[in-house]
Amino acid sequence: MRSVRALASTALVGLTATALTACSLVGGGDDDERAADGSTPPGGSEVVLVTHESFTLPEEVLAAFEEESGYRLKVRSAGDAGSLTNRLVLTKSSPLGDVVFGVDNTFASRALEEGVIADTDVERPAGAATYDLEAGEGSDDLVPVDTGNVCVNIDDTWFAREGLEPPTTLDDLTDPAYRDLLVVPGATTSSPGLAFLLATIAEEGDGWADYWERLVGNGAKLVDGWSDAYQVDFTQGGGKGDRPIVVSYDSSPAFTLDGEGGTTTSALLDTCFRQVEYAGLLEGAENPEGGEALLEFLLGPEVQAALPESMYVFPVRDDVELPADWARFAEQPTEAYAVDPAEIAANRDTWLREWSDVTTR
């Protein structure tokens, strides 16, 4: 098992193209490229996937899609999930590609309301329908691909060394005992940051802004995204950081193994907010047939089995066996925080403005 740092490095190497620059993921081929059955794919030989900066899958998995479908796959990276959704809205009259992957349940309503997702009829595999968006216009057109929980993580080795009892709840994070120990990705600049904000709203209700005042007053550090928080500032992220508390995922402890059969970190399961990432066909796609084929492939057993060790997320299929280390260390909460998608849609902009005001005072 590789560490989080190694996995993240692999992802970054695989996606070194600048945002919105297309790159072939698995090689060339000419315009007469054919599917495995010898047929020429309809709608053109190239299919373009627009996704977030953390997208990565094994080359052999992506090569299988090209071989089976006959399409060449290209990706366009558009930042984090929030940036991705914004770019889709801004470019909806001239879409960036054929398929989007990485719009999560905190931004899905905006993508649907803005009309950037086209009608599609992709069959869900066993278990996937559990993660469908709640009923609403266009809700069936975003297909769930993966899931996970955004949770506060702690460096167990740091707390043991310092002889300090670690926090367990959101409220604990405002305790002076944990001053200057927490790093958080921003709610306006990252999907895990927004998920963490929503967890605090679910917990604190109308008092969430006061909670954030206390949190920031207790020295919480705000950074742009997950990579900055985990890989740079977190003490177990590989960047020699000095913060032993970080907002990350319930799967993160499966990647911080100590080489002796254990892990050096824990996810605080009473702090979690569930995320689901979706894929959809873009309205106005140049190659809708290729887009449909790619959506079906993302739900197929090859991609679903590769998700845990490639992107640290759980598959939505219930017939996929998880890696052994996940079974031991990627513990999921029995009950996670949730906010109704309609409430998110109605209040997201207001909440983000208020959050920005509170955190920049």
Check residue 342 and give its pLDDT. Answer: 79
Query: What is the CA angle 64-147-257, rounded to 5?
Result: 85
How many CA atoms lie less than 13 Å away from 321 in the CB half-sphere? 2
Check residue 85 and give its pLDDT. Answer: 85
User: Which residue from 44, 47, 45, 21 is spatially nearest to 33, judged by alpha carbons?
Assistant: 45
From the options 3.30.1130.10, 3.40.190.10, 3.30.530.20, 3.40.50.2300, give the CATH code of 149-273+333-359: 3.40.190.10
Q: What is the pTM of this model?
A: 0.79
Determine the distance from the C-alpha atom of residue 104 to the mean position of all C-alpha atoms in its chain, rounded to a whole number.
Answer: 7
CATH 3.40.190.10 in the chain, residue ranges: 4-147+276-327, 149-273+333-359
Q: How far apart are CA 84 and CA 80, in angstroms?
A: 6
Chunked mean pLDDT (size 10), the chain, 361 residues: 35 32 40 49 79 91 95 87 84 94 88 92 91 74 95 98 98 98 93 94 98 98 94 94 97 92 96 95 96 97 94 92 90 92 88 97 81
> Which pair of tokens denotes residue 281?
């066909």
Which 3 state secondary structure label does DSSP give 81?
A: helix
**Fold for the domain defined by 4-147+276-327:** D-Maltodextrin-Binding Protein; domain 2 (3.40.190)
